[in-house]
Protein backbone atom coordinates (compact mmCIF):
# COMPACT_ATOMS: atom_id res chain seq x y z
CA UNK A 1 0.00 0.00 0.00
CA UNK A 2 1.33 3.38 -0.99
CA UNK A 3 1.30 6.25 1.55
CA UNK A 4 -0.46 9.35 0.30
CA UNK A 5 1.43 11.68 2.64
CA UNK A 6 5.21 11.85 2.94
CA UNK A 7 6.46 13.91 5.90
CA UNK A 8 9.53 16.06 5.39
CA UNK A 9 12.52 15.74 7.67
CA UNK A 10 12.02 17.62 10.90
CA UNK A 11 13.68 21.03 11.01
CA UNK A 12 14.87 22.40 14.33
CA UNK A 13 13.07 25.49 15.52
CA UNK A 14 15.30 28.54 15.58
CA UNK A 15 14.53 30.62 18.63
CA UNK A 16 16.19 33.79 19.62
CA UNK A 17 17.81 33.69 23.05
CA UNK A 18 17.42 37.43 23.59
CA UNK A 19 14.23 39.22 24.46
CA UNK A 20 13.12 42.11 22.31
CA UNK A 21 13.53 45.42 24.07
CA UNK A 22 10.36 46.95 25.48
CA UNK A 23 9.29 50.52 24.78
CA UNK A 24 9.60 52.86 27.77
CA UNK A 25 6.54 55.12 28.15
CA UNK A 26 8.54 58.25 29.14
CA UNK A 27 11.51 58.52 26.77
CA UNK A 28 11.61 62.32 26.83
CA UNK A 29 11.98 62.41 30.60
CA UNK A 30 14.75 59.79 30.47
CA UNK A 31 16.73 61.71 27.85
CA UNK A 32 16.34 65.03 29.66
CA UNK A 33 17.47 63.61 33.01
CA UNK A 34 20.38 61.87 31.28
CA UNK A 35 21.45 65.14 29.64
CA UNK A 36 21.23 66.95 32.98
CA UNK A 37 23.44 64.32 34.62
CA UNK A 38 25.91 64.58 31.74
CA UNK A 39 25.97 68.38 32.13
CA UNK A 40 26.66 67.99 35.85
CA UNK A 41 29.66 65.74 35.06
CA UNK A 42 30.82 68.37 32.56
CA UNK A 43 30.41 71.04 35.25
CA UNK A 44 32.58 69.18 37.75
CA UNK A 45 35.22 68.70 35.04
CA UNK A 46 35.17 72.45 34.29
CA UNK A 47 35.44 73.19 38.01
CA UNK A 48 38.46 70.93 38.51
CA UNK A 49 40.28 72.18 35.40
CA UNK A 50 39.59 75.83 36.23
CA UNK A 51 40.58 75.40 39.88
CA UNK A 52 43.92 73.92 38.82
CA UNK A 53 44.42 76.76 36.31
CA UNK A 54 43.57 79.34 38.98
CA UNK A 55 45.96 77.73 41.42
CA UNK A 56 48.80 77.72 38.87
CA UNK A 57 48.33 81.18 37.34
CA UNK A 58 46.22 83.09 39.85
CA UNK A 59 43.97 84.36 37.04
CA UNK A 60 40.58 85.70 38.15
CA UNK A 61 38.91 84.51 34.92
CA UNK A 62 39.79 80.94 35.85
CA UNK A 63 38.16 81.55 39.23
CA UNK A 64 34.95 82.72 37.60
CA UNK A 65 34.89 79.71 35.28
CA UNK A 66 35.50 77.43 38.29
CA UNK A 67 32.54 79.04 40.03
CA UNK A 68 30.43 78.59 36.86
CA UNK A 69 31.39 74.90 36.72
CA UNK A 70 30.37 74.47 40.35
CA UNK A 71 27.01 76.17 39.71
CA UNK A 72 26.46 73.98 36.62
CA UNK A 73 27.22 70.86 38.68
CA UNK A 74 24.85 71.87 41.48
CA UNK A 75 21.96 72.87 39.22
CA UNK A 76 22.37 69.74 37.09
CA UNK A 77 22.28 67.43 40.11
CA UNK A 78 19.32 69.13 41.76
CA UNK A 79 17.22 69.26 38.59
CA UNK A 80 18.07 65.67 37.64
CA UNK A 81 17.02 64.54 41.12
CA UNK A 82 13.71 66.40 40.90
CA UNK A 83 12.90 65.26 37.35
CA UNK A 84 14.19 61.70 37.66
CA UNK A 85 12.72 60.50 40.92
CA UNK A 86 9.44 59.34 39.37
CA UNK A 87 10.89 57.61 36.29
CA UNK A 88 10.42 53.94 37.12
CA UNK A 89 10.76 50.60 35.36
CA UNK A 90 7.36 49.49 34.12
CA UNK A 91 7.89 45.89 35.25
CA UNK A 92 9.64 45.99 38.63
CA UNK A 93 8.81 49.64 39.48
CA UNK A 94 12.42 50.31 40.47
CA UNK A 95 13.85 53.77 39.82
CA UNK A 96 15.71 53.88 36.52
CA UNK A 97 18.10 56.75 37.24
CA UNK A 98 18.42 56.47 41.03
CA UNK A 99 20.44 53.76 42.71
CA UNK A 100 19.13 51.93 45.75
CA UNK A 101 21.29 49.81 48.02
CA UNK A 102 19.63 46.55 47.01
CA UNK A 103 21.25 43.89 44.81
CA UNK A 104 21.42 44.51 41.11
CA UNK A 105 20.31 42.02 38.47
CA UNK A 106 22.92 39.71 36.93
CA UNK A 107 22.17 41.08 33.43
CA UNK A 108 22.39 44.74 34.50
CA UNK A 109 24.63 46.83 32.25
CA UNK A 110 27.71 48.31 33.93
CA UNK A 111 30.84 49.88 32.50
CA UNK A 112 33.69 48.97 34.83
CA UNK A 113 34.90 52.36 36.17
CA UNK A 114 31.36 53.79 36.32
CA UNK A 115 28.40 53.10 38.58
CA UNK A 116 25.20 51.42 37.39
CA UNK A 117 23.43 54.79 37.07
CA UNK A 118 26.32 56.34 35.14
CA UNK A 119 26.40 53.32 32.85
CA UNK A 120 22.65 53.66 32.27
CA UNK A 121 23.05 57.34 31.40
CA UNK A 122 25.88 56.50 28.97
CA UNK A 123 23.72 53.80 27.35
CA UNK A 124 20.71 56.12 27.01
CA UNK A 125 22.75 58.90 25.42
CA UNK A 126 24.80 56.69 23.11
CA UNK A 127 22.47 53.86 22.05
CA UNK A 128 18.95 55.10 22.77
CA UNK A 129 18.22 52.16 25.05
CA UNK A 130 19.05 50.81 28.47
CA UNK A 131 18.66 47.78 30.70
CA UNK A 132 16.94 48.03 34.09
CA UNK A 133 19.50 47.50 36.83
CA UNK A 134 16.98 45.80 39.13
CA UNK A 135 15.11 43.36 36.86
CA UNK A 136 17.40 43.20 33.80
CA UNK A 137 14.67 44.09 31.29
CA UNK A 138 15.97 45.80 28.14
CA UNK A 139 14.20 49.00 27.09
CA UNK A 140 14.30 51.11 23.96
CA UNK A 141 13.36 54.76 23.68
CA UNK A 142 11.91 54.70 20.15
CA UNK A 143 8.61 53.04 19.37
Instruction: For 63, list phi and psi in degrees, rounded to 5.
Output: -65, -40
pLDDT number for residue 81: 93
Per-residue confidence (pLDDT) for residue 13, from 0 to 100: 73
Note whether residue 2 is domain-resident.
Answer: no
Whether residue 2 is predicted with pLDDT greater than 80 in this model: the reply is no
E-state strands within the chain? 22-23, 129-131, 138-140
Residue percentage of the chain with pLDDT more than 90: 55
Q: Tell me if 10 is assigned to some domain.
A: no
The more confident residue out of 18 and 137 is 137
d(CA 37, CA 121): 8
Is residue 15 domain-resident? no
CA pseudo-torsion sign 138, 92, 27, 87:
negative
- Any domain includes 4: no
1 domain-assigned: no
In angstroms, what CA-CA distances link 103 with 84, 106, 116, 130? 20, 9, 11, 18
- In-domain check, residue 88: yes
Q: In this predicted structure, what is the pLDDT of residue 16?
A: 66
User: What integer is the mean pLDDT of 53-73?
Assistant: 93
pTM of the predicted model as reported, rounded to 2 decimal places: 0.80
Look at residue 13 and tell me if it is in a domain: no
Q: How many domains does the chain have?
A: 1
Residue-range definition of the domain harbouring residue 130:
24-140
Query: What are 74-129's pLDDT values in tens digits?
Result: 999 999 999 988 899 988 898 998 888 888 888 888 899 999 999 999 999 999 99
Amino acid sequence: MKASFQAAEPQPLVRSKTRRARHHPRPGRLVSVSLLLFLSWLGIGIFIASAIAMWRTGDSLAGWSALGGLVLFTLGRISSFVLGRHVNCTLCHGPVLHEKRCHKHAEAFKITPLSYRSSTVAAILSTGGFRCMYCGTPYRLKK
